[in-house]
Amino acid sequence: MKIKKLVFNKQGNTSLAVSHGTEWILLKQLAEEIKDNNLLAVCNDLISFLQYRETHKDEIDQIIALAKKTSFARPDMEEVMIFKPILYRDFMLGEQHVINSGRGMIKNCIPSMYPILKVYEAITRHTFPPLKPQKAYYENPVYYKGNHLSFVGSGSEIQYPDYATVWDYELELGFIITKQIRNADEKTALDAIGAFCVFNDFSARNVQIPEMKQTGFGPCKAKDFASSISNVVVTADELLPHLNSLKTRVIINNETVATGQLNEFLFTLGQSVAFASKGETVYPGEFMGTGTIPNCCGLENGHLLKSGDTIRLEIDRIGFVENNVKREF
C-alpha cells in the first residue's frame, strides 16, 4: 500500500491518503462517511495508521475497495511531509559505496593525494589501502545518529550552508519503525519496519574529513543541515518481496546521471535494526537509512551539485524525492 499526506481544505487540515488504482483515497473523509471512529482516530498520523493496519489490514482493504468518489483526493491537493521522525539512524551497508566515495573524497577534498592513489591503483590493480573499510566495519552494521529535526519532504528547497564547498547527495532506502523492540533477533527486527521511502542524505563533503578523520567523531556539520524524504511511503509487506531487484536513479536537472540497485548490502535490514536494538530500546517513529546505494552519490558518479540544481532520486515501486538546492544567504 502506498500512503501520503494531503492538505484537503483552505484551513490547512491534513489527512493521510492511500492509493487505490489511479486514485488516492482520503482516510479522514472515508472514515467520516462510514462512521468508523477507529479509522478516524489514526487517519492523520502515519505511525498510528501503520500500527492499526497491522491488525486490520483485510478490513481496511475492503473499506478502500468500496470507497465512494466523495472520498477521492483532488489533483490540486497539496502534498506535505508524511511524518516527522523522533530519531534518525543512518547505516552504511554498501561496501562498494564506502570505497568509491573515499576515492571521490580524495579527488575533491585532498587533491594532492589523488595522483598517488591513481598511480598505486594503476600499477598494483588493487584498491588504494586507505580506501578499504576497517575490520570493525565487517563485524556489525555501523551507523551514526543524525539530525532528525532537519528533515523535509519532497518539493522543499534545500539551502547549503555557507561553509559548504563540495555539495553532495546520497540516494538511500529509508525505513520507518512502527514497533518497540529491544535486543531483538533478526526476524523480530525486520517485523518492526512498517514502511519504506526514498531518502536523500545531503552532505557538505569538504568538512566531512576534518570532522571524522581528524576528530574521531561521526559527521555533524557535514550532514545535519538537511535531509529529505519522499512524500509517498510504501508498506513493508508490499516492498520486501521485491527488495533486492529494485532499481534506483539519480536525476539532476532532468538528466539521469547514475543508476543503482538495492542488492549490494553487506548486512540485511533485519540484522541492521537488530543491531540498533542491542542494549537499547528502538521506538515506533524512529527513522533509519541504509546508507548510500553504490554509485548514487556525487563523489562516486562525478555529478556533484551547484546552486540552482534540481536533484531527483528514484527507487522502483516507491517513487521519488525531489528538491531544488541553493546556497544559504
**Mean of pLDDT values over 296-301:** 96
- Tally the domains of the chain: 2
Contact call for residues 198 and 230 (beta carbons, < 8 A): yes
Domain identity same for 316 and 269: yes
| Cα 150 to Cα 146, 157, 201, 224, distances in angstroms | 9, 12, 11, 7
Q: What is the pLDDT of residues 167-187, one digit of tens each?
A: 999 999 999 999 999 999 999
Domain identity same for 168 and 213: yes
Q: What is the pLDDT of residues 107-136, one digit of tens each?
A: 998 999 999 999 999 999 999 999 999 899
Cβ neighbourhood burial of 104 (10 Å; 0-12, 13-18, 19+): buried
CA 226 to chain centre: 12
Asked if pLDDT for residue 329 goes beyond 90, the answer is: no
Asked if pLDDT for residue 214 goes beyond 90, the answer is: no
Total-model pTM: 0.94
Asked if pLDDT for residue 215 goes beyond 80, the answer is: no
How much is the mean pLDDT over the chain? 95
User: Which of 56, 80, 104 finishes a domain?
Assistant: 80
Give the Cβ contact number of residue 316 at 10 Å: 14
User: Which of 52, 80, 108 finishes a domain?
Assistant: 80
Percent of the chain with pLDDT strictly greater than 70: 100
pLDDT at 213: 76
Domain identity same for 70 and 158: no
User: Whole domain around residue 217: which residue ranges?
Assistant: 87-327
